[in-house]
């Protein structure tokens, strides 16, 4: 078990995390892949952003699917630990602000890397800032969709 930044872990330090997709042998062999789902290797070091779910049988899932998993690697020259985030997701198509698909080779910028300590320190800063803000409640009913950021103008043909 590594460092816990926020939340709590049950006695023993184990966390049960559910990931979409997987493989089963019975009743028939089947494998399912969900684009954007995180891949986790045994013994791999990473920073996880998780949210708790399930009432009586609690479990966790990644926040933002693959975005909730930030790989940690050790620089072979210095031995320092670093994180790498912002990598492309295989099987996911990117769109521009208007929702138009970007070409597969569109330059979105390189994956970002930085020190693990700096990354975790920034997460601590964000948590402290959020905790200091006064909580506000929404007047929008829970089943009403959030307003669109870039609303499309209504058509001149009778609002269609």
Please tell me the predicted confidence (pLDDT) of residue 30: 93
Per-residue pLDDT band at 29 (split at 50, 70, 90)? very high
Average pLDDT on 94-105 reads: 77
In a domain, 82, yes or no: yes
Share the mean pLDDT of the chain.
76
In a domain, 12, yes or no: no
Q: Distance between CA 45 and CA 124 in Å, rounded? A: 19
In a domain, 103, yes or no: yes
b/e 9-28 (16+ beta carbons within 10 angstroms → b): eeeeeebeeeeeeeeeeeee
Please tell me the predicted confidence (pLDDT) of residue 160: 45
Of 67, 17, 70, the C-alpha closest to 37 is: 67
Range of the structural domain that residue 107 is part of:
17-132
HEC readout, 22-76: EEECCCCCEEECCCCCCCCCCCCCEEECEEEECCCCCEEEECCHHHHEEEEEECC
- In percent, the amount of the chain with pLDDT more than 90 equals 4
Per-residue pLDDT band at 89 (split at 50, 70, 90)? low
Q: How many domains does the chain have?
A: 1
Of 22, 18, 71, 81, the C-alpha closest to 48 is: 71
């Amino acid at each position: 078990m590594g460092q816990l930044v926020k939340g709590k872990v049950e006695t023993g330090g184990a966390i049960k995390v559910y990931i979409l997709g997987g493989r089963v042998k019975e009743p028939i062999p089947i494998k399912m892949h969900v684009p954007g789902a995180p891949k986790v290797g045994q013994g791999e070091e990473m920073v996880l952003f998780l949210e708790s779910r399930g009432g009586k049988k609690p479990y966790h899932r990644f926040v933002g699917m693959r975005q909730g998993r930030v790989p940690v690697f050790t620089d072979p020259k210095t031995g320092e630990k670093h994180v790498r985030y912002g990598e492309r997701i295989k099987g996911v198509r990117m769109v521009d602000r208007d929702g138009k698909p970007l070409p597969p080779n569109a330059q979105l910028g390189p994956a970002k890397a930085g020190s693990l300590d700096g990354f975790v320190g920034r997460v601590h800063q964000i948590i402290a800032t959020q905790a200091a803000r006064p909580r506000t409640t929404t007047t929008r009913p829970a089943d009403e969709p959030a307003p669109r950021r870039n609303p499309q103008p209504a058509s001149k043909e009778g609002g269609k």
